[in-house]
Amino acid sequence: MVGSPAMLRGVSTSQPDVDPRRYRDVLGRFVTGVTVITSAVETPQGIQPWGTTVNAFTSVSLEPPLVLICVGRARSIHPVIDRAQRFAVNILAEESQGLSDCFAGAPSPLPRSAFCGASYALSASGLPILDAAVAHLECTVEKTLDAGDHTIYLARVIGLGLSEVHPLPLLYYRGRYLRIERAATAELLGKPDSRYPEG
């Protein structure tokens, strides 16, 4: 039968075990941007910022404006988001690899215990916005979903902003960072989009 799930290439009706390493290798073929998710809690000493690197981020809806992120439950920021019920998505530029490594807990010369030495400002909603961000979104949690060893946070965007300059974004592919070299000078291909007249 045409279109039957069992007839589709690569689709199986059984549920065999998936090799974790192979699974990571396959997912690594998908290029993503890199974000630092930030939140904050009040302490007797003042506002304490928290951050972690996340590439599992996507837009969900325009009306209302919704996004989602996936955060490992072992991440130190997880209970912070659960408590604050809000977070900011900081989209990193390509020169921010050091910040990405530090907030991810990877080997880095930056001091993770001191918010990776990142310069930031608190938004009107009290969220840390990194100076190094190409753009940011401020979000309040609408729903959460347990998903394996992660939590999915569905959140409404309550604020956003763009950098005055337009640096190229930091990308991640197969466990490595990528830089966009040709896009700044080469003619862009595909359907023109009037929302981005500068290309």
pLDDT tens figures, 24-82: 888 888 888 899 999 998 888 888 899 999 989 999 999 999 999 999 999 999 999 99
pLDDT of 3 over the 50 cut:
no
For residue 115, report the phi and psi dihedrals to the nearest 5 degrees.
55, 35
Cβ of 59: how many Cβ atoms within 10 Å?
Answer: 11
Q: Tell me the three state secondary structure of residue 187.
A: coil
Give the tens place of pLDDT for each residue, 87-127: 999 999 988 989 999 998 877 666 667 899 999 999 999 99
Query: Which domains does the chain show, CATH number per domain?
Result: 32-174 (2.30.110.10)
Put simply, whether the predicted model's pTM sits higher than 0.85 gets the answer: no
Residue 182, amino acid: R
What end-to-end distance do the CA atoms of the chain give, in Å? 46
pLDDT of 4 over the 60 cut:
no
- Reported as a pLDDT band with limits 50, 70 and 90, residue 182 is low
